[in-house]
Chain A
């Protein structure tokens, strides 16, 4: 038996023994996602059990180096692990901006001490992170940010405010873009700081969204003291790190376009709407839109695979990945619009147990953010036009 097959057997056995039954049923909604942290929120106690067990093995971050608590697995082993997890329907044990955003940047730009300090806690879900990028005056034009970090010898004094900070009220630490120098261009003088949200002078104020949820906040900094040791990378060179991290964030967001349900939307449509005498969905216009959506989703899936395969084969420059965020999020928005068409007016009920308390319309509204968060669709198109197609400024 090959080593990989051996690994598969062991993994299967371990998962069988360690993945609680409750963690093998699909998440019913956002409440079923486990985010860890100092005060973890749970809809079921096994969420923590499952996350802790996986974290202990480093399998919440299977590809990260073992010396910092990661799984230390190679690409093929990671694939096997994912296959074995999906075989038993295991949930993602831990949702985390530490994993999807900060970690990769820390591994590349962090000091040894920072890696030792933060990576293991991310892997084990002990610390929940939030992202302090956007400001009231700095959205798409992120580099114009004004939150100041003044050099006070052994520490920085941080003043200013952030906005749209996802889960700031639940997070333990923040990775935050600050301005340490105002004299150069806007891309210079930005510094990447890590600090505890429990620090004196940090306050948060939740913002209610159109979906009725409040997943993000305004975040205020009033003379917050941040030790110099918490500067990641060089002072004034934070923009490079910020951009690197954004590529990981965008990769995560473009994955939202994958359909997860057991049935396709068109199958649901057949059940809800029925067929005409010719054996076609009894709404020709909807049928056409559904066909186009499902076809595009399939082709988009092939595109993600092709770009990965090309990277492995050392072909191309990986430029095509620039379309993922744009296309994946627009596709997801299209999918939810069509879901509304398929489920009809009843699908728009906002309250009541019979209507899942508005799960569908809330999720639909949430998708509108996909093409805003992490850089808007328009900004992605600017990037493709300039960086990939080389069109002049």
Chain B
């Protein structure tokens, strides 16, 4: 498939850019942060986005979505990255809806996908337990009990935990922490007995949270898909999630790079624009090359999700590894090339490096995915 956007996709990109610049820009993020908003995102804005179809953009029409595919979702995510827009699009749509669409039973899909697409329900994945992304180390357990299961464990870094209606909890049904297999995905109400959540505000001013599960009873129909395929389903969901996060990171990188290039043309020292200095020019040119590579791997990976490519895992790890590496470089240089003003809270460039680091780490950073890429390539 040609590595370009078609007419319809280009229109979506322009529309998303226009809407987000107006309503969900860096200024909006700053306002949310400074007002210490209870929800951590604007519910009205999220409803507007859902009304435009974004919350169902990759969800099939049969379940109330727009069916634009992941390329459509990626386009919106990239623009959200550019504007640092805050919403549950990542947690509920990119990750949770994907898990339900890929793994859910017909009844689960009917019950949840239209509700996610309309913006009415927020679902989030409760996976991580330690400092790093390491799904195989999952220690939370789901123990068979009559027709159902009893889940216990502690989850950290759960995006939007305190505002979610439902959690998709990853728990071990077999094996030991360290085994890649033996994981199950369970749909759990956030308000179910035994579930408690605590909000954690991250460096990027976004919602994360800790979820404690204390002998939470779930019925058999709350298992997402089947237990035998839980680990494989999780990998598939994470591959897609990492590609989506890469699209967001790409937008963030492009925006901070462009802002930095403008600054190099404006700021004068030694009687000349600082952009005349070759020491800065070459670093800028190298970043440009990196960004062109990042663009290519993102569009290729998004298309691969929609095409159902069978080497998606390899591509997803290449994508997240490359884009994380580029994001680290570009966000660091953005601060350095702005000099002192780049360090001030009043100036916006600092917001980009903060979001970059969180998105890089979520579901595995450069080192994690470089290692996985090598493993998948059999060395």
Contacts and interface: CB of A to CB of B under 8 A. Distances in A.
B275 A280 contact: no
B261 A389 contact: yes
Nearest to B292: A320
A294 B280 CA distance: 28
A205 interface: no
A217 to B, nearest CB: 32
B93 to A, nearest CB: 26
Interface residues of B, number: 38
Contacts of A83: none
Contacts of A386: 281
B370 interface: yes
B107 interface: no
B374 A392 contact: no
Contacts of B282: 378, 381-382, 385
A247 to B, nearest CB: 17
The prevalent SS among residues of B at the interface is helix
B281 A310 contact: no
Contact of A299 (B275, B280, B288, B318): B318
A: interface residue count bin: 35 or more
B111 interface: no
Nearest to A264: B377
B284 interface: yes
A270 B379 contact: yes
A393 B276 CA distance: 5
B293 A309 contact: no
Interface stretch (B38-46, B76-84, B156-164, B295-303): B295-303
B293 A296 contact: yes
A295 B300 CA distance: 14
B371 interface: yes
A309 B2 contact: yes
A305 B3 contact: yes
B273 interface: yes
A389 B288 contact: yes
B224 interface: no
Interface string A367-382: 0000000000010111
A326 B265 contact: no
B286 A381 contact: yes
A327 B3 CA distance: 20
Residue from B5, B272, B289 whose CB has the most chain A CB atoms within 10 Å: B289
A392 B273 contact: yes
Contacts of A275: 379
3 closest A-B pairs by CB: A385-B281, A384-B285, A306-B3
Interface of B: 2-5, 261, 264-265, 272-273, 275-276, 278, 280-282, 284-286, 288-289, 292-293, 295-297, 299-300, 318, 321-322, 370-371, 373-375, 377-379
9 contacts: A294-B373, A299-B296, A302-B297, A306-B296, A323-B289, A381-B282, A382-B281, A390-B261, A390-B265
